[in-house]
Amino acid sequence: MSIVRTAIVLLFCDLLSSCYYTKDINIRIELDHSAVYTPDSSAIYFIALSEAWKKGKNIWFIMPIEGQTKYLKRDMLLYSYRFDEKNFTCIYDFGYLPYGLGNWEIVLVPLDGAVYMTIMPLGGWDSELRRYRIAELRDKLDREFIFVLDSTVQHNYDTIQISTENRKLVNLTYLYKLVKSEPYSTFRLHLHEIDPASEWDYIHTLTSLENTAEYRRMVIEQVVSKKSKRAIRRIYKKMQKTFEKLSESEKSKMERYTKEHFEVLERLMEE
pLDDT digits (tens, 9 = 90+) for 197-212: 999 999 999 999 999 9
Residue 92 forms part of a structural domain: yes
Mean pLDDT of 1-14: 51
pLDDT band at residue 7 using 50, 70 and 90 as cut-offs? very low
Comparing 261 with 137, which gets the higher pLDDT?
Answer: 261
Residue 3 forms part of a structural domain: no
Q: What is the rounded CA–CA span in Å between residue 43 and residue 139? A: 30
Same domain for 32 and 94, yes or no, is yes
Residue 192 forms part of a structural domain: no
pLDDT band at residue 136 using 50, 70 and 90 as cut-offs? confident
Residue 207: count other Cβ atoms within 10 Å of its Cβ. 21
Give the end of a domain, one of 162, 185, 208: 185
Same domain for 211 and 117, yes or no, is no
Give the end of a domain, one of 185, 213, 242: 185
Same domain for 94 and 163, yes or no, is yes
Comparing 4 with 70, which gets the higher pLDDT?
Answer: 70
Same domain for 28 and 153, yes or no, is yes
Same domain for 92 and 176, yes or no, is yes
**Residue 40: is its pLDDT beyond 50?**
yes
Helix, coil or strand: residue 44: strand
Mean pLDDT of all residues belonging to the chain: 88
**Residue 128: is its pLDDT beyond 70?**
no
Same domain for 110 and 144, yes or no, is yes
Q: Which pLDDT value is given to residue 17?
A: 47
pLDDT band at residue 163 using 50, 70 and 90 as cut-offs? confident
Same domain for 121 and 231, yes or no, is no
How many structural domains are present in the chain? 2
Residue 64 forms part of a structural domain: no
Same domain for 141 and 34, yes or no, is yes
Give 181-197 pLDDT, tens digit per residue.
999 999 999 999 999 99
Which alpha helices (H) appear in the chain, and where do they start and end? 2-19, 134-141, 172-180, 191-194, 199-207, 213-222, 229-244, 248-270
Domain that holds residue 124: 23-56+69-185
69, 53 in Cβ contact below 8 A? yes
Comparing 158 with 199, which gets the higher pLDDT?
Answer: 199
Same domain for 81 and 170, yes or no, is yes
Give the end of a domain, one of 153, 185, 217: 185
Same domain for 90 and 201, yes or no, is no
Same domain for 212 and 150, yes or no, is no
Helix, coil or strand: residue 34: coil
Contacts 24+ apart (CB under 8 A), 98-106: 98/74, 98/131, 98/132, 98/133, 98/134, 98/137, 99/131, 100/30, 100/49, 101/30, 101/31, 101/32, 101/47, 101/49, 101/76, 104/32, 106/32, 106/34, 106/47
Residue 48 forms part of a structural domain: yes
**Residue 258: is its pLDDT beyond 60?**
yes
Half-sphere exposure of 134 (CA within 13 A, CB side): 16
pTM of the model: 0.86
